[in-house]
Chain A
């Protein structure tokens, strides 16, 4: 049973480009969460999704950021027109229904140059 799979592991984008981060949850997990970690800091919640629904996006920046978890395929975190301040590690986690803790993926490290 594979864990939470994130790709790519590393992503370099120039300012103004778009970044797409992918997350496939563990088999049987229907809840997906995205977190951002700035250098030397703890993780900050961004968004919580179930299949085809955004449940809580209270941590998402109001502009340029969006997330989806379609019926088929991975969850996508999309950042449009990236800026240097978007450089961070983005982690995805999943959990089953009947919550018993998260499992995190290995993260995507985004560098904006």
Chain B
């Protein structure tokens, strides 16, 4: 089946720093989403981005489908950005998502 690899697995930064999270996937996909799981366990949908670039405030994401990777950028990090960031992909013709193992981001004040 499709493989989804996220890097780095852990990232510790000071408040105000910028970060880039990467997601590599092994097959063509028709869906890619980034989620933030906060310390209370809630999953927040950040981006639906099977291709191209999107921005929402301090967050932006880019997916290069032909090269099978996606990047999530977080600028001017805040402590509330802490949590686990998941990339999830959906295969051509299927609606289920395959999740990566996540990047655990810790923002220290």
Chain A residues within 8 Å of B, Cβ to Cβ: 31, 33, 35, 41-45, 48, 55-56, 58-59, 89, 91, 95, 99-104, 106-107, 109
28 CB contacts below 8 A, A to B, read A33-B96, A33-B97, A35-B97, A35-B99, A42-B86, A42-B99, A42-B102, A43-B86, A43-B97, A43-B99, A45-B96, A45-B98, A56-B95, A58-B96, A59-B96, A91-B43, A101-B31, A101-B33, A101-B45, A101-B48, A102-B33, A102-B97, A104-B35, A104-B43, A104-B45, A106-B41, A106-B43, A109-B41
Chain B residues within 8 Å of A, Cβ to Cβ: 31, 33, 35, 41-43, 45, 48, 86, 88, 94-102
- On whether the beta carbons of B101 and A41 are closer than 8 Å, the reply is yes
- Interface SS of chain A: helix, strand, loop or mixed? strand
- Interface SS of chain B: helix, strand, loop or mixed? strand
Complexed CA–CA distance, A106 and B41 (Å): 7
Q: Which residue of B lies closest to A100 (CB)?
A: B48
Which among A33, A95, A107 is the interface contact of B43 at CB below 8 angstroms? A107
- On whether the beta carbons of B101 and A33 are closer than 8 Å, the reply is no
Q: Which residue of B lies closest to A59 (CB)?
A: B96
Which among A35, A91, A99 is the interface contact of B95 at CB below 8 angstroms? A99
Complexed CA–CA distance, A89 and B99 (Å): 15
Question: What's the minimum C-beta distance from B88 to chain A, rounded to whole angstroms?
Answer: 7
A-side contacts of B43, CB under 8 Å: 43, 91, 104, 106-107
